Structure 1
Amino acid sequence: MLLYDLYRGRDYRIVPTLDRIQKAVKFLGLESLPYVSFQVGGTNGKGSTCAFLESILRHHGYKTGWFVSPHLVEEEERWRINGQKMPSTKLEYYVKELKSVFERFELTYFEACTLIALEYFKDERVDVAVFEVGMGGRWDATKVCNPSVCIITNVERDHTKWLGADVESRAIEKLGIYRKGVSLILGSMKFPLYTKALEMCDHRDLIVGGLDFFSYGRVSREKTVLEEYVWEELRIREAPLGLWGRWQIGNASLAITAAGSLIRLNTDTLKEALKNTYWEGRMEIVRDDPLLILDGAHNTDSIKKVVREVKKYIGSITPVFTGLREKEWQESMSFLRELSERIYLVQIKHHRGEKLEHLEKHAKEVGFKEVVSLSSSEEVPYIEEDLLVIGSLYLVGEVKSALENARKL
């Protein structure tokens, strides 16, 4: 946690601006990058779409860089080459080399992470790089990657304090990644993202799900299959996906379209890439009996989707939940009540973790008959029942770390 420790306790205030990161990029001579970049924004599905996209590009023979946020267990997960996380020695080198730049331009933690990604991918001579937007779009540091293709998955309810309480304001913020002459791929024609895009963008740059490309698929308890995808001359049928859930059909379709807008795709290679896609903490089954699923859904819309799919294909399962202060976790908890009469609650170690007493109080208010408070995430691997860990990627990371510790005993 070399970079995180450098920023510990002093990086909590968000001031929307690109000035700091742009000055740092210019100072290091990174304004013109020697690789092609993709930038992926949206409320939900960014990480999974990035995972599919990186896999597609890598399977087609390109050396890939992939910038991820947040990390689950180890900070090195944020920077990946061909899907593999950065070695600790590399991170130590970049923190040492760039520390004075972070300080000179007063970069935030996320801006420092972005700057490391730009430099690391250049040094590793990647062919293509996939950048996941941190929050919003208009002021997000990843804009300095100068993307050749931009993607917006959707606009839902999240980060309302910074992005706006109404969905139209959030759509405008997300669309801030767009630049004229660069393809912008939208997940659907859903209001208000598509309608705002028509107002703000050159129509010739738009590629829209349900209008320009089409897909559908099926989900079972064991797998998710992209039954058909069509865009112009490209047609794919019966492609198993490495990630589970109905929403992954849309995420995979976005990734296919993004890759296909720049490179020629081979159908067999594409199917292999989709099947081999792996992304930690997204409906990740880490234990079969009893079942233990980890999912990083952390806002009302994403948790609602997970609950709907789990009820349909898996059935009753007990949630392990936490929330972050300044996040609207209360409504999410009410949806989890549909899965079980019991809930396990954890206060995570992260400084934004909601207090246990607040979680307990609300769990009782929404009707859970049994509310069990855990002293830490370390207890989760020893609970002998089917569990769904949900509510925060930080919680997922803590449980993954706890599982690793349990295996060592």
Structure 2
Amino acid sequence: MNYQETVDYLYQQLPMFTRVGASALKKDLHNTLELCKQLGDPQHKFKSIHVAGTNGKGSTSHMLAAIFQQAGYKTGLYTSPHLLDFRERIRINGEMISKEFVVAFIEQMKPTIESLEPSFFELTVAMAYQYFVLEQVDIAIIEVGLGGRLDSTNVITPELSLITNISYDHMHILGNTLPEIAAEKAGIIKENVPVVISQTQSEIESVFIDKAAFLGAPIHFADQEWLLQETDFTAGRLSLGIQHTHSGDMTRIHTDLTGQYQMKNIMGVLSAVKILQQAGWELPEQTVLTALSHVKKLTGLRGRWEIISHDPVTIFDVGHNEAGITEIVQQLQHMVYRHLHIVTGFVKDKEVAKVLPLFPAAATYYFCKAQLPRAMDQEELAELGKQHGLRGHAYASVQQAYQAARQQAHKEDVILVCGSFFVVAEVM
């Protein structure tokens, strides 16, 4: 098989959560452990940092990868889902895994795939871990796919665990309350391994404290260790003045990440860096600051408040749940424009009825359906939108919706594409 045939085989043969939903998930780590066993247990042969959370775990993972990379470490990065190319999920120093490796790995594992019947995600995790070992990375940043406790990535013992925040998402799998969801995410906390929580949330703080205490894991709440003194959002760059609450030291950060929601993620990253420095990793302050100013260039991060053009200003953001959409809407309130056009689509298993009331009623909506089985029908979405006072039309494809927005937008307007990774990917 060539590369394209190999990727087609992966999509067609293996159940894939992003396409079909919960039916692709396995209820334990058996398959992942079995795949790793056949590969000589690569999960134990490289150093790692494990990142979970409802929102911000992708950005956080990319920031940490950028810092290690800038510091001269050979740095692996595993994230999901991808936007344009399957290989985005597995990178070393920003470079995607080679097509040749993907083809050779699947060829080698075919008998196992056919007998074990793993999910797409389980196999991808095993591929990443094997790649990181063979390429002899100094460290790999591993982003959890979904939840934590039963996520396929959760077979590593990292140098540090980091949990960004907890919000309502995937409740049909993770639980209906924030403490239930938090307990699943807390499943990545390991015995005696420090854990950073980016954002203190009173309702679930004790879930993390209790789990960390039970495992003897030192716990740090980043937003209690850092004080935000000043913020500036101009010319598409975010600048922060952050003070360390214990030492009183001020740090000025200029980052190429443009979403204001990155402020919370940056605090988590800075706390992680302090712990890792104390553990002997050489991460000089200037290196950290340089890395944070070039995250996109170093790691290839895309789709986070990504301003892709002006005249009119056009923004892509993969925010898709209650917390993500809330952050997007808050950022829109800081913008000056004539009219707002929102291209959006969702997957069926999201709590769309909870998310739609968060959107501004004064915008024009272009409701659409991404090309995957889990996508919500555009007419159904438009009808739901109407019930919440959102005016617009339904479009059979993402491209039709986006083109309609482009045609109708005045140069002083704003076009926002959001609601799903897959809607943003299809526009890209």
- The equivalent of 1:246 in structure 2 is 260
Q: Distance in 1 between matches of 2:403 and 2:92?
A: 31
Give me the CA root mean square deviation. Answer: 2.1
Query: Where does residue 29 of structure 1 map in the other structure?
Result: 40
Per the alignment, residue 353 of structure 2 pairs with 330
What is the alpha-carbon distance in structure 1 between the residues aligned to residue 248 and residue 190 of structure 2?
Answer: 26
Matches within 5 A, 1:14-25: 14-25=25-36
Equivalent residue number for residue 404 of structure 1 = none
Amino acid at match of 1:112: L
CA–CA separation in structure 2 for the residues paired with 1:187 and 1:381: 38
Return the alpha-carbon distance in structure 2 between the equivalents of residues 4 and 216 of structure 1: 50
Residue type matched to 2:283 in 1? L
Corresponding residue of 1:284: 306
* 1:27 positional shift: 2.3
Query: How far has the Cα of 1:310 moved from its partner?
Result: 1.2
Given candidates 411, 416, 422, the residue that maps to 1:388 is: 416
When residues 235 and 19 of structure 1 are mapped into structure 2, their CA distance, relative to the original with a 3 A threshold, is farther
Amino acid at match of 2:205: Y
Q: Which residue of 2 aligns with 1:169?
A: 180
Match of 1:406?
A: none
- 1:36 to 1:103, Cα distance in 2 relative to 1, 3 A: same
Structure 1 residue 377: Cα displacement: 2.3
The aligned amino acid for 2:417 is V
State the alpha-carbon separation in 2 of the partners of residues 139 and 10 from structure 1: 18
Which ranges of structure 2 fall in alignment gaps of 5 or more residues? none
Q: Match of 2:374, as an amino acid?
A: R
Give the C-alpha shift of residue 161 in structure 1.
0.2
For the pair 1:122 / 2:140, whether they are aligned, the reply is no
Residues 35 and 128, structure 1, Cα contact 8 Å, conserved in 2: yes
Residue range with higher mean Cα deviation, 128-137 or 14-23: 14-23
Report the counterpart of residue 309 of structure 1 in structure 2: 331
Q: Which piece of structure 1 moves more, 225-234 or 282-291?
A: 225-234
2:344 to 315, 321, 325: 321
How far has the Cα of 1:26 moved from its partner? Answer: 1.9
Task: Write the distance in 2 (CA, Å) between the matches of 1:335 and 1:365.
Answer: 13
Question: Paired residue for 1:108, among 114, 119, 125?
Answer: 119
- Alignment of structure 1 residues 3-402 onto 2, 5 Å: 3=7, 5-8=9-12, 11=15, 12=20, 13=23, 14-30=25-41, 33-202=44-213, 205-222=218-235, 223-230=237-244, 235=249, 237-262=251-276, 263-278=281-296, 279-315=301-337, 316-338=339-361, 340-369=362-391, 371-379=392-400, 380-381=402-403, 383-384=406-407, 385=409, 386-400=414-428
Shift of 1:48: 0.5
Q: SS of the residue aligned with 1:155?
A: coil
Please give the alpha-carbon distance, in whole angstroms, between the structure 1 residues aligned to 2:148 and 2:197. 14
Aligned 8 A contact 2:76 2:92 in 1? yes
Q: Which amino acid in 2 is paired with 1:38?
A: I
Question: Residues 193 and 217 of structure 2 are in contact (CA less than 8 Å); yes or no, is this contact kept in structure 1?
Answer: no
1:128 deviates by 0.7
- Say whether the 8 Å CA contact 2:226–2:242 is kept in structure 1: no
Identity %: 27
Three-state SS of the structure 2 residue aligned to 1:40 is: strand
Are the equivalent residues in 2 in contact too, given 1:157–1:300 (CA < 8 A)? Answer: yes
Of 341-350 and 215-224, deviating more is: 215-224
